[in-house]
């Protein structure tokens, strides 16, 4: 797949972008800095693999209260809200990149597909990228275990 740019590397600062939360409030890069954050990027929430990826990370979030988990897709806010209602999901931090600010700044927009490349990013509390995983085949799931192990190097797991 051809991406719109060159994604940042581990060690780089998270680029400046803006996305929108479920209340249509602008969320900027600066809003994500200050807490270790796992960013799960999905091409389209309305597909089975994206639903699975979002659910798996949402289920993990409670075990890592010192970290923030969010999912970014270029679905509209209305589509994301509909997905939450259809899935019975309430406590998920979904961010819409319908304007593709995140996609272009991160080099993750896939022009021939019209969506974002499936990927996982972990940033430290200063906004530095400490982990990245870009899935080359959009229909494949990411390596969840590898991402969670990288997260555990920064924040402890809490068993419920």
Just list the catalytic residues: 50
Question: To which residue do tokens 């209260």 refer?
Answer: 65
Residues sharing a CB contact under 8 Å with residue 138, sequence separation 6 or more, in sequence order: 1, 43, 49, 110, 113, 117, 118
Angle at 120 between CA 116 and CA 125, to 5 degrees: 120
Closest CA to 79 of 146, 159, 132, 22: 22
- Give which of 59, 60, 39 is closest to 131, Cα–Cα: 39
In terms of Cα–Cα distance, which of 127, 120, 106 is closest to 150?
A: 120
Q: Tell me which residue has tokens 């409030």.
A: 25
């Amino acid at each position: 797949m051809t991406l719109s740019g060159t994604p940042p590397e581990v060690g780089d600062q998270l680029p400046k972008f803006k996305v929108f939360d479920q209340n249509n409030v602008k969320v900027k890069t600066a809003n994500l800095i200050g807490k270790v954050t796992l960013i799960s990027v999905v091409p389209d929430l309305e597909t089975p693999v994206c639903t699975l990826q979002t659910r798996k990370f949402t289920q993990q979030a409670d075990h890592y209260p010192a970290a923030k988990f969010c999912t970014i897709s270029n679905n509209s806010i209305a589509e994301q809200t509909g997905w939450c209602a259809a899935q019975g999901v309430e406590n998920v931090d979904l961010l819409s990149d319908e304007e593709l600010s995140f996609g272009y700044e991160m080099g993750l927009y896939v022009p021939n597909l019209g969506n974002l490349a499936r990927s996982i990013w972990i940033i430290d509390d200063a906004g530095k990228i400490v982990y990245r995983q870009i899935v080359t085949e959009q229909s494949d799931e990411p390596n969840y275990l590898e991402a969670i192990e990288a997260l555990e190097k920064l924040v402890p797991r809490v068993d419920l």
